[in-house]
Structure 1
Amino acid sequence: MFELLRKEDMAHEGSIWSCAWGRSIKKKSNHKDHHNGEGDASRDSMDVEEIEEVEDFIVTGSMDNNVKLWNYSDNKLVQKNQLDGHCFGVVSLDINHDSSMIISSSLDSTIRVWNAQETKLEKKIEAGPLEVWTVAFSPDSKNIIAGSQNGKINVYGTESGVVESTLDTKGKFILSIAYSPDGNYIASGAVDGIITIFDVASGKLVQTLGGHAMPIRSLCFSPESNLLLTASDDKHIKLYDMKQATAVATLSGHESWVLSVAFSPDSNHFVSGSSDTLVKVWELKSKSCVHTFREHTDQVWQVKYNPDSNKIVSVSDDNSICIYSQDVPPSTQENNSTNDYDEL
């Protein structure tokens, strides 16, 4: 059920801190001929059938200053292109909802917007003088949010590259940031272990959540936007009920900092990566670890699921990319959105 499918050693010349899994769908026309009884093809009897070509790709960002695109097919990773331009390490990446755009942020204080299909730079956003440690697309791709060490979240227009609004957490260094999939909330995690939740429509701070004792390296909403998952240097993962604004579970198992967490798109599992070099898969309903991967030799900076919830990618300070399988039971595939508050 769980296995390593591919390990790409020395995928970058430096530590890999960020990754994202994208999927492009291209429609092609296929012409089908109908023949008459005498074997002649008639132009009038020709049907046009649309075929969808699905292409999975992975994006990685490294302390070697580079962003790389990898095509993933038949358990093979093939580098498609390298996106040059950043002057210092790339610390955060995101792919928009239809996998047409990529954003990267760097210690060079810039955000770059890339065309994923043409693998070219669309826009460079000067976000300085402060470094940009974390970025994310809005669900509709119209905005980019960025967090920095001054405790403020800048909301940029994707097309304009201009700051449209600023959300002040009134806190410390922001290490992690996330949009809720329904577009209603923005969450951030800070170096002091505090989580802030903003209402997108009003721009107001609506919740401040505690519970972690150390920096929050990663956070993400569930696909239904009802749960928030957080990862911290205190070695714990916490699960928050957004409606009640309370922690409903604290999960332990890692032996060091938890650097990344990600929900599966079907909401049934989540995955975590840690500086203990481990990648752990957790079942949401039971709130228990169901598998541990031990393929990396250094700390794991980021983990992500593919759109089908059956594969995971992880990146590490050991300069490698690992891809794992996670079989999704048929019953799970048929009932994708059953995890609600009552089941926790």
Structure 2
Amino acid sequence: MTATAVYSLLNKKENAHEDPIYSCVWTRTIDTDDPKKSQDYLVTGGLDNLVKVWILENNRLELLHTLEGHCMAVVSVAVSPDGHIIASSSLDTTLIIWELTSGFKVHEIEMGGTDVWKVAFSPTGTQVVSGSHTGKLTVYDIVKNNIDRILDTRGKFALCVAWSRSGQYIASGSVDGAVHIFNAAQGMLVHTIQAHTQLVRSVHFSPNSKLLLTASNDGFVKVFDVASGSELRKTSFKAWVLSARYSPDGSVCVRQRLLITMTVPMTDKRVLCVTVPVVASCARHRSRRGC
């Protein structure tokens, strides 16, 4: 089934970057003085060396910050669980930490020539994991500024990574279409899945950590059961899909179908906000926020 048959377009921002967009993150911050107040943001990174922060309100995107600091393409952006810190990685082998609301650069980490590709925060927000051309995943402590541990996929270039909200799992996607799932605490490889026919651009866990969303150059977005490694659903697009992510408020159960709200940065410089139904029962894949 093609995406034109199953998604509803919430917003489209033309020419969001001057060059193609490599990464996109949807996040939400909560007002500490009034927990009932929240603000949604999109953070994008592109081949123009820039990180951009967008306010998403009433289905409209407005630019808040343009963050300059990388001298080559930004290949990944990630946001801490509390929504206040951004990590961006670049082909210039640097990892930069930013404050989201102010746009202030907190610090810059030089990785010494090591390829730093996609990055993802731990649930505590104190660590990030990155993939590399060796197929190994490196976990960095951004507070202590050192390497905590290394996970070996025994595979090819790990282009993308994700850390589950439960903290139990780390997932990666490789250039050969394989997806690897690790037990984060034990450092043990749990599943190796031949998920796609071309390189995997992004992997992302559902809020309840039970589902894994993947996107690939083969034009498919797929959903896998984390416990079993089995494929639950796939949706096709007419172009490379560079990123697909669950919305921060999780999945909504409608007529015994899960609706994924995700942002999809495309190779033609657009950012699409879409909803895609995933066939699954409420009882089996109930979100922690409920259905």
Q: Counterpart amino acid of 1:338? A: C
Q: 1:78 to 1:127 in 2, by over 3 A?
A: same
Query: 1:213 aligned to 2:209?
Result: no
Q: Which residue in the other structure is 2:267 paired with?
A: 317
Q: Which residue in the other structure is 2:236 paired with?
A: 253
The worse-fitting range, judged by mean Cα deviation, of 106-115 and 219-228 is 219-228
Conserved? CA contact 1:66–1:90, under 8 Å: yes
Conserved? CA contact 1:241–1:341, under 8 Å: no
- Runs of 5+ consecutive residues of structure 2 not aligned to the other structure: 1-5, 287-291
Choose from 70, 83, 92 the match for 1:108: 92
Q: 1:137 to 1:284 in 2, by over 3 A?
A: farther
Q: Which residue in the other structure is 1:42 paired with?
A: none
Residue 319 of structure 1 deviates from its aligned partner by: 2.8
Question: Which has the higher Rg, Structure 1 or Structure 2?
Answer: 1
Q: Which residue in the other structure is 2:133 paired with?
A: 149
Q: Which residue in the other structure is 2:289 paired with?
A: none
SS at match of 2:243: strand
Q: Which residue in the other structure is 2:30 paired with?
A: 25
Conserved? CA contact 1:144–1:155, under 8 Å: yes
Q: Which residue in the other structure is 1:129 paired with?
A: 113
Q: 1:215 to 1:87 in 2, by over 3 A?
A: same
Choose from 97, 107, 111 the match for 2:81: 97
Name the Cα RMSD after superposition.
3.1
Q: Which residue in the other structure is 1:119 paired with?
A: 103
Residue 322 of structure 1 deviates from its aligned partner by: 4.0
Conserved? CA contact 2:97–2:106, under 8 Å: yes
CA displacement, residues 181-224 of structure 1 (integer Å, 9 cap, x when unaligned): 21011111111122222211122223322343332222222222
Conserved? CA contact 1:268–1:284, under 8 Å: no
CA displacement, residues 106-141 of structure 1 (integer Å, 9 cap, x when unaligned): 111111111113211112111241332211001111
Conserved? CA contact 1:144–1:157, under 8 Å: yes
SS at match of 2:167: coil
Choose from 278, 284, 289 the match for 1:340: 284
- Runs of 5+ consecutive residues of structure 1 not aligned to the other structure: 29-49, 270-282, 291-304, 329-336
Q: Find the aligned partners of 1:211 and 1:313 in 2 and give their Cα distance.
A: 21
Q: 1:77 to 1:341 in 2, by over 3 A?
A: closer
Q: Find the aligned partners of 1:267 and 1:197 in 2 and give their Cα distance.
A: 21
Q: Which residue in the other structure is 1:182 paired with?
A: 166
Q: 1:255 to 1:77 in 2, by over 3 A?
A: closer
- The two structures have a TM-score, normalised by structure 2, of 0.82
Conserved? CA contact 1:69–1:81, under 8 Å: yes
SS at match of 1:188: strand
Please show how residues 1-344 of structure 1 align to structure 2 within 5 Å: 4-28=9-33, 52-245=36-229, 247-249=230-232, 251-264=234-247, 265-268=249-252, 312-323=262-273, 338=282, 340=284
Aligned length: 277
Q: Counterpart amino acid of 2:99? A: N
Q: 1:216 to 1:316 in 2, by over 3 A?
A: closer
Conserved? CA contact 2:91–2:115, under 8 Å: yes
SS at match of 2:185: coil
Conserved? CA contact 1:267–1:284, under 8 Å: no
Q: Find the aligned partners of 2:285 and 2:8 in 1 and give their Cα distance.
A: 31
The worse-fitting range, judged by mean Cα deviation, of 167-176 and 201-210 is 201-210
Residue 146 of structure 1 deviates from its aligned partner by: 0.5
Conserved? CA contact 2:243–2:265, under 8 Å: no
